[in-house]
């Protein structure tokens, strides 16, 4: 048979395609993988549906059923990632994010979902189809140092993706040409803190390596640019890679994309899409492009597949307590000590010593608001170092400032606790030594802290028998609470997380554990209590068996409270989260928190007038406010006297100002976001169990028996599927359910499933007339593809037309469910005239689909409709 332009053909490895152009001995063919020029000798003609009907041809019904099921499985996963091997249930907004990203190539998106919506799942859903079809070969994930191991673990556990954590010791200058670290490793997770440091030519080797098909940056707000001081090292590295054309796709994940200055935000967007955004131009003129770049989903609007909201707003309460006489005396003297020191610092002028004095005093004030135990430890160490040691105040001030600016809260808090060690020779006031001795005497008179007693009362009352997560800023306070919990509930009831995996001074001993072990034991219910410092403030899930959080102390930044709550109020939480904090109304910190909360309420009311879901916007407002604003409010309040109200308003004017509110509204209003009402019809309602009917029949067509129990299949692998490394000869209890624990989870990307799909897609069967159980009228299947092929991997979908008294259009996932329920009986000779009638009806329905295309919202530049199969009942 002579092939002609427009003919449907099959290729052994590239699959089915259509000839676009003939040349001497070759043909240009449009395949799913793109347009290829291949030898004519490698092509075989394929009969189209219409040709088969007009000539009276019919095919094996099971093969036709298998072929269309396989096509649907492949296209649904390529578009939505719905059959990926994630071990946790997928949510509509996650599938929607995946589709938004996969619909474009190269993908360039800023994904700014609220904390707790499953960004790791979204990332895995995006990465899996790209990696499995090798559209992405070279992948670089950049994350904070504390999260690199977690990224590696979750990608392996949830999606069976094996990514390598960057090891700088293997990235050497003396590496042989062509065999550098970046030439050997194609899929890498690297710490931003490590990678941004151009140590011994690290950047030169990175820039000399092949380009990355995709770079994903977690916590991307660390890629910041200040108009006055310039770019962070992380942003400079990304700019180098961009300028060297080493970035294909780029995905940035951050819950706080705008840090208060348009220039920094626009710089981030310009990094993503330099064709749309310019940092040095007005933001107002560029707002119209945000929906092409920024995705923002929030807890208040995400739902399950039935449209039911997933998250409830946390119940936040506070309890008051009052100091004992001993605590009150100590607090009064300490406050006087701090205000005296502040006055002394002011007398030094704007010098390095003045700044260092202020930092030490602020650290002492924060420690005191946490616990007497925390401030006592610092005062003792400071008093011990006042005996003539030369000060290193200037260097240590720079170290603390650098930690704070880098967002390393755990490191900064640890340094603040050691304030007595690192500032020994720095005088805080003229009579500091004597006053320190007095403070230590008063601190030693506090034998029981009333806040700890109030916490224990809450545990025995309203939180009896509950699992509870505690947060505190400082290790001394952590140890104090660990001791109280251990004494009351026993050693096995409690665990902890902090920066160095060690808690000292707990009943005279030191405790040791790791962050991962503590989180696992707490999530599995083996430990009732988890006491954490800010080391667990980000990047850890603790919601599995807990919905109660107690703030042992309150950080001087409301954003950190939001991050703490996000450890529990996140995807997978089945109960409404309850949050409890403790306040002593007699302290200046309580007064400032009252004022902050009043201002936050005012911001929420302002948003409520213009936005349906104002709760989501607070996080963005907090992210746009410099932490220095809140630090100034707390540290300077004690010396304001009767001027506190006016001083507070002036100090916090940046927080929630009109400009900030307008910016947040514009950001939300112009970003693209998941809306269940708009997309509920297209979100596929299929999951891994919907693969079982296809896979079961695939085994039977290969003469293999299958033992099926619930969603577990056991079988001997067909010979046609063997030959690839990693495919077993026998499978015992292969699981088609994400909830199954301890089983091999099957899905697209599992090698044996992929072989079954690949085999079925090659079946040359498209007309199936039989005694179909479950089908009483003809079913037409159409394939819609995008003629425009300037991206790897053609965009395509399948739709069905079920005839009958009321013909119905079926979306791809509905079509798969229908085919899954069909069972072919005997096939035979079609009734006279049936094939002709089916052909005539096919042409009519093709025209009907052309008219319906706009309703499908496929967003294809040049849609191509192709009749793909017909299933019809055998008429008696």
* CATH number of the structural domain spanning residue 3: 2.30.30.390
DSSP secondary structure letter of residue 38: E
Q: CB burial class (10 A; 0-12, 13-18, 19+) of residue 39?
A: exposed
Question: For residue 390, what pLDDT band results from cuts at 50, 70 and 90?
Answer: very low
Sign of CA dihedral 505, 511, 517, 523: negative
Give, in order, the Cα–Cα distances in Å from 155 to each of 116, 127, 159, 540, 722: 17, 10, 5, 14, 27
Residue 580 in contact with residue 591, Cβ under 8 Å?
no
Would you state the pLDDT for residue 391?
Answer: 43
Same-domain pairing of 118 and 266: yes
Name the residue among 701, 730, 869 with its Cα closest to residue 799: 869
In a domain? residue 743: no
The full DSSP string for 387-413 is TTPPP-HHHHHHHHHHHHHTT-HHHHH
pLDDT digits (tens, 9 = 90+) for 588-631: 889 889 988 888 888 777 766 555 555 556 777 877 788 888 88
Q: Which two tokens stand for residue 486?
A: 């251990």
Distance CA 310, CA 117 (A): 10
Distance CA 509, CA 228 (A): 50
Would you state the pLDDT for residue 15?
Answer: 79
Would you state the pLDDT for residue 105?
Answer: 86
Domain end call among 274, 295, 316 = 295
Name the residue among 686, 840, 869, 846 with its Cα closest to residue 779: 869
pLDDT digits (tens, 9 = 90+) for 101-122: 988 889 999 999 888 888 898 9
What percentage of the chain has pLDDT greater than the value 70?
93
Q: Is the backbone peptide bond immediately before 106 cis, with ω within 30 degrees of 0?
A: yes
Helices (H) and strands (E) in the chain, counts: 31, 32
Residue 647 in contact with residue 636, Cβ under 8 Å?
yes
Same-domain pairing of 234 and 369: no
Would you state the pLDDT for residue 388?
Answer: 45
With residue 766 as reference, give the H or E element that holds it. Answer: none
Q: Which two tokens stand for residue 547?
A: 């919905």
Would you state the pLDDT for residue 205?
Answer: 92
What percentage of the chain has pLDDT greater than the value 90?
47
* Ramachandran angles phi, psi of 675, nearest 5°: -135, 110
Question: For residue 715, what pLDDT band results from cuts at 50, 70 and 90?
Answer: very high
Same-domain pairing of 398 and 366: yes
Residue 136 pLDDT > 90: yes
CATH number of the domain to which 180 belongs: 3.40.50.10810
Question: For residue 493, what pLDDT band results from cuts at 50, 70 and 90?
Answer: very high
Q: Which domain holds residue 512?
A: 448-583
Angle between helices 432-444 and 372-385 (to 10 degrees): 140
CATH number of the domain to which 483 belongs: 3.40.50.300
Question: For residue 483, what pLDDT band results from cuts at 50, 70 and 90?
Answer: very high
Same-domain pairing of 272 and 342: no
Same-domain pairing of 333 and 282: no
Looking at the DSSP bridge assignments, the partners of residue 519 are none
Same-domain pairing of 274 and 224: yes
In a domain? residue 704: no
In a domain? residue 791: no
- The mean per-residue pLDDT over the stretch 712-723 comes to 95
Would you state the pLDDT for residue 511?
Answer: 93
Domain end call among 382, 408, 437 = 437
Distance CA 801, CA 781 (A): 6
Residue 12 pLDDT > 90: no
Same-domain pairing of 374 and 505: no
Distance CA 581, CA 376 (A): 22
What beta strand segments (E) does 463-621 contain? Answer: 468-471, 494-497, 502-506, 509-512, 529-532, 548-551, 578-583
Same-domain pairing of 248 and 171: yes
Count the Cβ atoms, other than its own, within 10 Å of residue 836: 13
Q: Is the backbone peptide bond immediately before 521 cis, with ω within 30 degrees of 0?
A: no
Give, in order, the Cα–Cα distances in Å from 698 to each of 1, 156, 703, 756: 31, 28, 9, 6
Same-domain pairing of 566 and 472: yes
Q: Which two tokens stand for residue 379?
A: 């005062």
Q: What is the largest CA-CA distance in the chain?
A: 111
* Ramachandran angles phi, psi of 512, nearest 5°: -135, 135
Give, in order, the Cα–Cα distances in Å from 471 to each of 257, 359, 497, 529, 560: 25, 23, 10, 11, 10
Would you state the pLDDT for residue 855?
Answer: 87
Residue 302 in contact with residue 310, Cβ under 8 Å?
yes
Q: Which two tokens stand for residue 680?
A: 């509920």
Distance CA 647, CA 507 (A): 44
In a domain? residue 799: no
Name the residue among 621, 622, 626 with its Cα closest to residue 667: 621
Count the Cβ atoms, other than its own, within 10 Å of residue 481: 26
Helices marked H in 348-392 — which ranges? 352-370, 372-385
Distance CA 308, CA 188 (A): 38
Would you state the pLDDT for residue 429?
Answer: 65
DSSP secondary structure letter of residue 105: S
Same-domain pairing of 433 and 456: no
Name the residue among 238, 245, 298, 296 with its Cα closest to residue 267: 238
Q: Which two tokens stand for residue 483?
A: 């001791």
Q: Label each residue of 618-648 as H, E or C.
A: HHHHHHCCCHHHHHHHHHHHHHCHHHHHHHH
Residue 701 in contact with residue 66, Cβ under 8 Å?
yes
In a domain? residue 793: no
Q: Label each residue of 306-327 as H, E or C.
A: CCCECCCCCEEEEEECCCCHHH
Would you state the pLDDT for residue 628?
Answer: 86
- The mean per-residue pLDDT over the stretch 724-750 comes to 90
Residue 277 in contact with residue 288, Cβ under 8 Å?
no
Which residues 6+ apart lie within 8 Å of 535 measured at CB?
146, 410, 497, 498, 499, 515
With residue 511 as reference, give the H or E element that holds it. Answer: strand 509-512
Name the residue among 852, 850, 876, 855 with its Cα closest to residue 865: 850
C-alpha triplet 125, 684, 786: angle, nearest 5°: 80
Q: CB burial class (10 A; 0-12, 13-18, 19+) of residue 641?
A: exposed
387 vs 727, more confident: 727
823 alpha-carbon distance from chain centroid:
41
In a domain? residue 19: yes
Would you state the pLDDT for residue 327?
Answer: 93
- The mean per-residue pLDDT over the stretch 529-537 comes to 88
Interstrand relation of 294-295 and 247-253 (parallel, antiparallel or unpaired): unpaired
- The mean per-residue pLDDT over the stretch 27-41 comes to 84
Name the residue among 192, 203, 278 with its Cα closest to residue 235: 192
Domain end call among 295, 313, 347 = 295
Would you state the pLDDT for residue 808?
Answer: 94
pTM, to two decimals: 0.83
Sign of CA dihedral 525, 526, 529, 532: negative
In a domain? residue 728: no
Would you state the pLDDT for residue 790?
Answer: 58
Indicate the average pLDDT of the chain: 87
- The mean per-residue pLDDT over the stretch 557-577 comes to 88
Same-domain pairing of 257 and 396: no
Same-domain pairing of 191 and 279: yes
For residues 523, 528, 531 and 537, what is the CA-based torsion angle, rounded to 10 degrees? 30
* Ramachandran angles phi, psi of 778, nearest 5°: -60, 145
Distance CA 25, CA 27 (A): 7
Which residues 6+ apart lie within 8 Å of 583 measured at CB?
318, 319, 320, 321, 590, 593
Would you state the pLDDT for residue 792?
Answer: 52
In a domain? residue 832: no
Report how many domains make up the chain.
Answer: 4
Would you state the pLDDT for residue 709?
Answer: 92
Name the residue among 459, 449, 462 with its Cα closest to residue 486: 459
Instruction: Please tell me whether residue 214 adopts helix, strand or coil conformation.
Output: strand
With residue 708 as reference, give the H or E element that holds it. Answer: strand 706-709
Residue 268 in contact with residue 234, Cβ under 8 Å?
no
Instruction: Please tell me whether residue 283 adopts helix, strand or coil conformation.
Output: coil
């Amino acid at each position: 048979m002579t092939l002609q332009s427009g003919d449907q053909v099959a290729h052994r490895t590239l699959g089915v395609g259509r000839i676009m152009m003939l040349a001497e001995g070759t043909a240009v063919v449009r395949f799913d993988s793109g347009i290829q020029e291949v030898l004519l000798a490698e092509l075989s003609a394929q009969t189209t549906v219409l040709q088969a009907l007009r000539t009276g041809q019919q095919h094996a019904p099971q093969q036709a059923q298998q072929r269309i099921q396989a096509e649907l499985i492949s296209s649904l996963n390529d578009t939505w990632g719905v059959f990926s091997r994630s071990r946790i249930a997928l949510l509509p907004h996650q599938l929607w994010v995946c589709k938004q990203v996969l619909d474009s190539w190269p993908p360039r998106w800023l994904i700014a979902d609220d904390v707790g919506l499953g960004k790791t799942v979204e990332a895995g859903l995006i990465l899996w189809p790209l990696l499995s079809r090798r559209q992405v070969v070279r992948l670089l994930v950049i994350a904070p140092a504390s999260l690199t191991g977690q990224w590696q673990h979750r990608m392996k556990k949830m999606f069976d993706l094996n990514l390598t954590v960057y090891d700088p010791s293997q990235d050497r200058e003396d590496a042989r040409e062509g065999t550098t670290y970046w030439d050997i490793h194609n899929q890498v997770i690297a710490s931003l803190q490590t990678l941004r440091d151009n140590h011994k030519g690290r950047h030169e080797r990175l820039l000399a390596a092949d380009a990355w098909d995709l770079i994903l940056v977690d916590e991307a707000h660390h890629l910041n640019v200040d108009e006055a001081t310039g770019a962070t090292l992380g942003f400079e590295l990304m700019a180098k890679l961009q300028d060297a054309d080493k970035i294909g796709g780029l995905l940035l994940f951050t819950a706080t994309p705008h840090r208060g200055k348009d220039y920094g935000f626009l710089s981030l967007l310009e990094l993503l899409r330099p064709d749309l955004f310019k940092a040095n131009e007005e933001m107002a003129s560029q707002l119209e492009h945000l929906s092409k770049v920024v995705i923002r989903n929030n807890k208040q609007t995400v739902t399950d597949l039935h449209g039911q909201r997933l998250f409830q707003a946390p119940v936040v309460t506070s309890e008051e307590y009052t100091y004992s006489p001993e605590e009150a005396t100590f607090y009064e003297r300490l406050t006087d000590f701090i205000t005296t020191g502040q006055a002394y610092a002011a007398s030094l002028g704007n010098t390095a010593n003045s700044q260092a004095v202020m930092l030490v005093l602020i650290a002492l004030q924060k420690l005191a608001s946490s616990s007497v135990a925390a401030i006592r430890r610092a005062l003792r160490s400071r008093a011990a170092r006042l005996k003539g040691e030369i000060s290193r105040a200037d260097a240590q001030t720079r170290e603390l400032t650098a930690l704070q600016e880098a967002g390393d809260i755990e490191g900064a808090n640890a340094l603040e606790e050691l304030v007595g060690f690192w500032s020994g020779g720095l005088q805080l006031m003229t009579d500091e030594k004597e006053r320190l001795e007095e403070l230590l005497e008063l601190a030693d008179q506090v034998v029981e802290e009333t806040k700890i007693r109030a916490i224990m009362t809450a545990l025995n009352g309203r939180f009896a028998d509950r699992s509870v997560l505690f947060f505190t800023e400082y290790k001394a306070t952590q140890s104090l609470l660990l001791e109280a919990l251990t004494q009351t509930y026993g050693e096995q009831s409690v665990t902890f997380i902090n920066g160095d995996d060690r808690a000292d001074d707990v009943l005279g001993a030191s405790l040791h554990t790791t962050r991962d072990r503590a989180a696992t034991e707490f999530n599995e219910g083996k430990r009732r209590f988890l006491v954490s410092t800010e080391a667990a403030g980000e990047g850890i899930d603790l919601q599995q068996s807990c919905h109660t959080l107690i703030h042992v102390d309150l950080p001087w930044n409301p954003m950190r409270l939001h991050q703490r709550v996000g450890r529990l109020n996140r995807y997978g939480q089945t109960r409404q989260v309850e949050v409890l904090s403790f306040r002593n109304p007699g302290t200046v910190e309580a007064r400032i928190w009252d004022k902050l909360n009043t201002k936050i309420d005012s911001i929420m009311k302002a948003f409520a007038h213009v936005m349906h879901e104002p709760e989501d916007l607070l996080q963005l407002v907090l992210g746009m406010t410099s932490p220095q604003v809140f630090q100034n409010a707390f540290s300077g309040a004690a010396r304001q006297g009767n001027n506190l109200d006016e001083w507070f308003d002036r100090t916090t004017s940046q927080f929630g100002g009109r400009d900030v509110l307008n910016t947040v509204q514009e950001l939300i209003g112009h970003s693209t976001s998941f809306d269940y009402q708009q997309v509920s019809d297209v979100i596929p309602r299929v999951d891994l169990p919907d693969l079982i009917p296809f896979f079961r029949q695939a085994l039977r067509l290969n003469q293999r028996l299958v033992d099926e129990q619930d969603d577990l299949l056991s079988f001997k692998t067909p010979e046609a599927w063997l030959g690839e490394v990693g495919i077993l000869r026998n499978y015992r209890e292969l699981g088609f359910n994400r909830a199954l624990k301890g089983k091999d989870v099957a899905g697209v990307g599992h090698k044996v499933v992929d072989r079954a799909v690949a085999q079925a897609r090659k079946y040359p069967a498209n007309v199936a007339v039989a005694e179909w159980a479950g089908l009483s009228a003809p079913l037409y299947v159409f394939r819609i593809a995008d003629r425009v092929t300037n991206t790897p991997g053609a965009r395509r979908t399948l739709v069905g037309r079920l005839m009958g008294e009321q013909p119905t259009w079926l979306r791809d996932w509905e079509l798969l469910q229908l085919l899954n329920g069909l069972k072919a009986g005997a096939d035979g000779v079609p009734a006279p005239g049936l094939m002709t009638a089916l052909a005539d009806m096919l042409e009519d329905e093709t025209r009907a689909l052309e008219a319906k295309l706009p309703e499908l919202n496929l967003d294809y530049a040049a849609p191509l409709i192709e009749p793909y199969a017909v299933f019809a009942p055998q008429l008696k």
